[in-house]
Chain A
Amino acid sequence: MKSIELRFGSIVLFFLLLAVVLLPVRKGALAKESQKTIHCWAMSVEGNWQITGDLPREALIISLQGLVNRTGPRLYVLVGQHYDYLDNDSILAYYHERHHVDYTMISSIRDALTKFRKFVKGYIVYDQKIRDSIVLSFTAAGIMDGVVVASEQIPMMDSLGFKMLADYRGKFQGMDTTQIYQWAYDHFWNKCSHKELIYLGGAEGTMIQPAIADLGVANGDFFYDLSTDPRAGTQYKLVSMLYSKMKPFSFLFGWHSYMKDTEHSYVTLASHYALRVEGLNTLPNMSFHRWIKLPPGYKFHAHHSDLSHLKLEKKVYVAFIQSDGLGIGAWLRPGRGQIPYAWEVNMYWYHYAPAILEYYYSQATPNDFFIGTLGGPSYMYPKAIPEKYRPTAFKMADALIKDLDINMFEIFDASDSLTRDLPKHIVDEYFKYMPHAIGFVNGYGPAHTFAVKDGRPFLSFDYYLPPTRSVKEADADLEELATLNPKRPYFLCFHVREYTDVQGVMNIMKPLGKEFKVVPIDEFLKLAGMDPTFKTQYQFTK
């Protein structure tokens, strides 16, 4: 027995030594491999996204992209400059420069299908008259390894020798939305990955923008378009059932339907099941980004102000935060870098698409600051998250800000229609479970939750800049706020929507007197913690 143990021990030792000897070799190979050129292809999906317009072409390319990017970064879609994600095409240029990504344009679907034939088992025909059939055809595509097509594309597919895997024309005639997704659930759910769900909402009617579908097809996700409005009856029941089947902290990609429900109902329901919301349905290339790895040993370094020798002045301190800062924000638009400005960070990219974050971090000027968002590790409403999951949610968010070298965090909770404020016990939990945050900002439109603990402030936005506000009106607003809050220093946290660029904000600040002082968000929070002239207050609406 002893000799067997000895022999076993020797074998283990041998393999351990072998591993020690080989490990550096393997590391070197990886490093070398990461320097290798990645050859890929790019296609434009620029168009009108109309179901009977450009969508057939766009949907086919996106489903194809999901299939071909399953095992590597092969196909990138270009969206043009009339699209939500203005940075998309610039990110590919960055990949080219920094990650040795070379790409060749493919102009026709026929060429793409020929090139990527080996990834495609066939095609699924959706019913152009029934929007839900388009949505569920993406689920089928992920399961059956097919591309989605409209009737008009069948001859092309047949001529290329692809077989029809499913035909949904007429199949859902007379069925309502709930019945259609119940059918999809019955037929597909058990074959789907349950890591993510894809809500293909967004613009509706004659339009559908399924740019996120590449990720769902690649991962074999379940797609749906069911109302999260509690008044929606059977749709609400079905979507609640789907959410209940997901593990807590699973991802919900896509976006709510602008015609069926609201962002607030969607995030509230998702948070109720401790699920992580990540928008939008228009987000492209997620199946591609995940393959672009960071250089070995890469660490994120954000800009931070020197907070060691701050002096308080009798000023109106103003700090700007742009919502949806990275992605659909004004990152590439005029003025960036000229004044201190904070950008909301989509923290999940740290795991899902770190190279996108690297792109923003590498471009950030000393005036660009990053703030973690939103409520939890993703977009979550803390009041709607079940109590037993809240500490985990906040700890996950804290780990992410630490990994991303961020020390500020933002919260927005619209789960209660009467208030954007938070009760004390939740504010206390943020202080407790997010020790890496030097401060917190709450709200969207202004809110009234203010607290401070050990020099770490929890502030709310005092100002929301609407997209259509003139410079004169905005200046009157800010001056009025300075009147309403007469103590100095006064800490005025300013929310800028993605519609306004930094230059626009500078134009607003220019006519204001010297009493107003724009400071970086980290300095703002530190100063507010040093002299909290705000009144400690929490949600008062029951």
Chain B
Amino acid sequence: MKNMIAKNWYFAAMLVLASIPSPGRAQGFEGMWNFDKSQSKDIGAFFESGEMRYRMQITNEGNDNLVIEDLTTTEAGWKRSKLNVNLKGAETASEYPRGDLAIFSFEAVAIGPDQTLKTKATDVTRSSFDLTEYFTVLVSQGTYNVVLRSHYALSADGKTLTVTQTRNSRKYDEPAVYVFHRAE
């Protein structure tokens, strides 16, 4: 009986512990983030020319699952895309209905027709994590499999989020840097 109680206590404690967010995992990313063009570098064509407005909404869905939504508004209309992220490192899938419009800094290629992106988070700390995305882009000669690596880092005061990106197709020593400020 004592053993049973001890065992039950042990499981209960494990459950409680599991429900408490790990201090090592990224915290405070949730919320609405406004893109700051002036502080960003090597960003997209339409961002640069001021023809696109960009916000990012990060939602904590519990169990170390984040949903990162990109909300972009161009002269032509607005678009929303969602990315599922698991901070424990499990590979996640996201439907990415980008349509035909181009992505990337130079607007050169578009993500193909609705497709599933594979995403994996690594090196998760309290204020940062790395994210690797695998997807296929449409180019004039067909398609290309892209590996996009992003580093999400929160500032010490939690008010600024910097996303630094590199990708396998780009031989360039400067990464793209997207700077966001937390919406009040």
> Which residues of chain A have a CB within 8 Å of any CB of chain B?
262-264, 414, 417-421, 445-448, 450, 459-460, 462-469, 472-474, 476-477, 479-481, 483-487, 490-491, 533-535, 537, 539-541
Residue numbers in A under 8 Å from B110 (CB-CB): 446, 448
Q: How many residues of chain B get a CB closer than 8 Å to chain A's CBs?
A: 35
Chain A residue numbers with a CB within 8 Å of B76 are: 262, 264, 414, 417
Q: Which of B7-15, B59-67, B126-134, B169-177 contacts A (4 or more CB under 8 A)?
A: B169-177
> Are B105 and A473 in contact (CB-based, < 8 A)?
yes
Task: From B24-32, B41-49, B84-92, B147-155, give the one contacting chain A.
Answer: B41-49
Residues in chain B near residue A481, CB distance under 8 A: 106, 108, 139
The smallest C-beta distance from B163 to any residue of chain A, in angstroms, reads 18
Given contacts A414-B76, A448-B140, A464-B106, contact A480 B170 (CB under 8 A): yes
Q: Determine whether the beta carbon of A490 is less than 8 Å from that of B48.
A: no
Q: Does A446 lie within 8 Å of B109, measured CB to CB?
A: yes
Question: Which parts of B72-119 form the interface with A (CB within 8 Å)?
Answer: 74-79, 99-102, 105-110, 112-113
Q: Please, which residues of chain B bring their CB within 8 A of the CB of A487?
A: 141
Question: Which residue of B has the minimal Cβ distance to A469?
Answer: B48
A462 CB contacts on chain B under 8 angstroms: 108, 139-140
Most buried by A among B79, B101, B112, B140: B140
Is A485 a contact of B140 with CB atoms below 8 Å?
yes
A468/B49 contact (C-beta < 8 A), A418-B77, A480-B108, A480-B171 known: yes
A483 to chain B, nearest CB (A): 5
Q: Are B99 and A535 in contact (CB under 8 A)?
A: no
The answer on a CB contact under 8 Å between B169 and A483 is: yes
Q: Is B23 an interface residue (CB 8 A)?
A: no
Name the A residues within 8 Å of B106 (CB-CB): 463-464, 469, 473-474, 477, 480-481
Given contacts A262-B76, A263-B75, A535-B141, contact A477 B49 (CB under 8 A): no
Verify if B138 is at the interface (C-beta below 8 Å from A): yes
Inter-chain contact A534/B108, CB cutoff 8 Å: no
Additional A-B contacts beyond A445-B101, A479-B170, A484-B108 (15; CB < 8 A)? A414-B75, A417-B77, A419-B100, A445-B102, A448-B140, A462-B108, A463-B108, A464-B106, A480-B108, A480-B171, A481-B139, A484-B139, A534-B140, A539-B100, A540-B112
Query: Are A460 and B140 in contact (CB-based, < 8 A)?
Result: yes
**A445 and B99 contact, Cβ closer than 8 Å, known pairs A450-B140, A486-B141:** no
Whether B74 and A417, one on each chain, are in contact in the complex, defined by CB atoms closer than 8 angstroms, is yes
CA distance A531 to B142 in the complex (A): 15
User: Is there an interface contact between B170 and A540, defined as CB atoms closer than 8 Å?
Assistant: no
Contacts of A421 in B (CB 8 A): 100
Shortest A196–chain B CB gap in Å is 25
Assuming A262-B76, A418-B77, A469-B48, is B142 touching A535 (CB within 8 A)?
yes
Give the nearest-CB partner of A448 in chain B: B138
Which residues of chain B are within 8 angstroms of A491 by Cβ–Cβ distance? 140
Interface centre among A446, A487, A491 (most CB of B within 10 A): A446
Task: Give chain A nearest CB distance to B24 CB in angstroms.
Answer: 35
Name the contact of B75 in the complex, choosing from A262, A477, A480, A483 (C-beta under 8 A).
A262
Decide if B45 touches A464 in the complex (CB within 8 Å).
Answer: yes
Q: Is the CB of B75 within 8 A of A535?
A: no
Residue pairs across A and B with Cβ atoms less than 8 A apart, 23 shown, are A264-B76, A418-B100, A419-B101, A445-B102, A446-B109, A446-B110, A462-B139, A464-B45, A464-B106, A467-B49, A469-B106, A472-B174, A477-B108, A480-B108, A480-B171, A481-B108, A483-B170, A483-B171, A484-B137, A484-B141, A486-B141, A535-B142, A540-B100
